[in-house]
Structure 1
């Protein structure tokens, strides 16, 4: 899973997907760089909340003759479908295409359909990124196919007003301590949720799918071993965590929300649930949905420097250049510029996500800028703390499919009270056999 929600600039996406095409018109120095003597249009496809709108405008101002036509697909899952549909068709991809960490393993199986960015100088920037981010975008043949955008260290979003109404502390430092600080566990998180549920009769978290994703991502190995073998049946920690989560849902801790909707955002304002697992990029989603539900800074949401089970990474993306692009050099220049530390800081300000470049991380930590939506919490500085010790888990080719389509339905059934842990696990095993080779 990854970033969600949609913003569209120049080219819009309706209910379905839109095949994008590159275009050339007029005359400019940018066109001369391509050897065609004309102005140059670069197409870009992202997904979710990337925060690039102002950066596109800035790039156009810095590069007269360049026009950016940008589209945004609503969810990472739909973006995956879009990319692979167009790869199969042999065309239609943008000049710059955002790829999500959860399905990067599948992209690596067709990495030869993306430009080797070493030919465009990415090796000169290798030290910009945390080492594992750069390594993620390197295929088995040593080709580097993606400029890293963000990573997803996780903290806890919580509603301080709901906490205080339940007799719990609302101060973010006290919340972190209450959950165990550096020693926070999922068992402790769910136990506190039972205390909250007993006091209020309301749910503790929004729905089990997001919690499950966070729990899986913390493991040294998740659905795949580090050497690429599918190990769902041979990873006992998966079943242990599944049972732990299923028990929490059966105890009424899940609000059984629809993923990415939250009742049109109203669940953030009406007390439906009190906590949300929050990788950095989720902060932008919460802000958008909170505002859509009629809320804002007064709604009581805060962000604590704590996470059950310790350091975890959920998501993160890359900018790639498909080999079908007719403007590979200029597309690579744009993608590189968008992922430079200065631009990553601006992206973080716009979208709330957390950068993958070291210099940008250090700046956010030093600035400690208050986030008004989250009770002036210094979200960037907190995420810098949460990023300590994070290592991305190996993602196999069907990782996102397993997360969404194998475990998603049984977890939904458990949330609704239509299945218990054994039923849910059996359904997941059946779906695994049907959907994954």
Structure 2
């Protein structure tokens, strides 16, 4: 799954460091008594299933003596804590999830993680680009196994489209926006007849991320150089997002905030940039809107936003058992199940043409053919260059665009953004 800047995801309560340390110790004690307790630190709803069940239940049933304890924290805290624990040499969970925009920041520490190339993993089940992001430059070490991949589409409210006089059929809707410029133009058209208080999209940061989803180089170039201030694609995405904000198209709801969640529930915006994992987010936060949503092709036709990797820190007391769980969690069978229940699109290309995935339609989203829409988006998407602070930079841009939504001068916001990025990643 992805998170803000995502990657990310739903912001959840931050877990106390002390509590994490206790659960980590519990794993070793359980192992000594003939049982193994595996801790896994995640952000958002990565492996959750409906009705408060977990995909871990099945693993525990089929692996007697293994107990899995999941700890969740918000995106930023999770990754900062992992780095701090790697530096300290203790405190990390048996398994740690790392978001795609953050994984490059851990590649330079291969000695801190189990190398999955030494664990009999067949890396050919994933695309070269997906594997390369979690591999050292010489490809000798693979520090994480891919979970999901985002893809890109647009989720839209058919009832709000109809109220504004726009078509609701997904093919006709996709025809409204062959480009992101035409998406913004359609937003202007929508506002002329929109229901009172309803905006075109949720937040400028999401539009910005969507626009950049089809660019090979965004914040870094292939050599690893930071190019935010010199990449015309980044400036063009900023300018178009600002244009839409200035035209009043944004609901100005910071992504993954309580206000954003309420916006879904109350129908305060008509469209949202929609990676596959967003389907589960919408269903979880606005269950009563079932049947009012549909999914259309993304402007530009392709793109990706999201993905994560399961890593096994070497400092763990149960690395062998942790590796086996990591392999299981990232196997096609589990990935397909998660896609069908919470929307996380499987990263293995072999699953994309299977009947379970290719033929999948989402009842919640007006029976949209999600199993076709997201693979089509990914098929021609570029292998994006991801740098060590890509996730952090994405968050900085989202916050900057939110400040513009709150009235800050765009020029001042851009200048401040570049300074903040230099401080964070320079």
Structure 1 residues without counterparts, runs of 5 or longer: none
Which of these residues, 127, 130, 144, is aligned with residue 130 of structure 1? 127
Match of 1:96 in 2: 95
User: In the alignment, which residue of structure 2 is the partner of 1:383?
Assistant: 374
TM-score (norm 1): 0.88
Is the CA contact (8 Å cut-off) linking 1:216 and 1:238 kept in structure 2? yes
Aligned residue pair count: 411
Task: Supply the distance in 1 between the matched residues of 2:226 and 2:273 (Cα, whole angstroms).
Answer: 26
Output aligned runs, 1:228-307, within 5 Å: 228-261=224-257, 263=259, 265-291=261-287, 295-298=288-291, 300-304=292-296, 306-307=297-298
For residues 198-225 of structure 1, the C-alpha deviation after alignment (integer angstroms, 9 at most, x for no partner) is: 2226311101112112222321211110
The answer to whether 1:433 aligns with 2:422 is: yes
**Does the CA contact (< 8 Å) of 1:365 and 1:381 recur in 2?**
no
CA contact (8 A) 1:283 1:352 kept: yes
- Superposed CA deviations along residues 77-126 of structure 1, whole A, max 9, x for unmatched, are 2321221122222211111111100111111122321111112111xx22
Question: In structure 2, what is the equivalent of residue 198 of structure 1?
Answer: 192
Take 1:366 and 1:354, find their aligned partners in 2: how far apart are those partners?
Answer: 9
Conserved in 1, the CA contact under 8 Å of 2:263 and 2:269?
yes
Secondary structure at 2:320's aligned position in 1?
Answer: helix
Contact 2:329 2:335 in 1 (8 A): yes
Report the 3-state secondary structure (helix = DSSP H, G, I; strand = E; otherwise coil) of the residue aligned with 2:161: helix
Q: CA deviation at 1:51?
A: 2.9
Q: How many Å apart are 1:127 and its aligned residue?
A: 2.0
2:3 corresponds to which residue?
none
Is the Cα–Cα contact under 8 Å of residues 364 and 381 in structure 1 kept in the other structure? no
Could you say what secondary structure the match of 1:232 adopts? coil
Number of the residue aligned with 1:85: 84
| Equivalent position of 2:44 in the other structure | 48
User: 5+ residue gaps in structure 2?
Assistant: 1-5
- When structure 1 is superposed on structure 2, of 325-334 and 213-222 the one drifting more is 213-222
The 1:271/1:296 distance shift into structure 2, 3 A limit, reads closer
Change (3 A) 1:269 1:366: closer
1:6/1:72 contact within 8 Å kept: no
Q: How does 1:300-339 map to 2 (within 5 A)?
A: 300-304=292-296, 306-339=297-330
Which residue is 1:57 aligned to? 57
Runs (4+) of structure 1 exceeding 6 A deviation are: none
- Post-superposition shift, 1:371? 1.5
SS at match of 1:263: helix
Match of 1:413 among 400, 403, 425: 403
Instruction: Report how far residue 366 of structure 1 moved.
Output: 5.3
Q: RMSD of the alignment, in Å?
A: 2.1
Cα distance change, pair 83–240 in 1 and its aligned pair in 2 (3 A): same
Larger CA deviation: 268-277 vs 427-436: 427-436
Structure 2 residue 391 is the aligned partner of structure 1 residue 392: no
2:350 & 2:60 partners in 1: Cα distance?
24
Number of the residue aligned with 1:19: 20
Any idea what SS the aligned residue of 1:210 has?
Answer: helix
Question: Structure 2: how far apart are the matches of 1:70 and 1:46?
Answer: 7
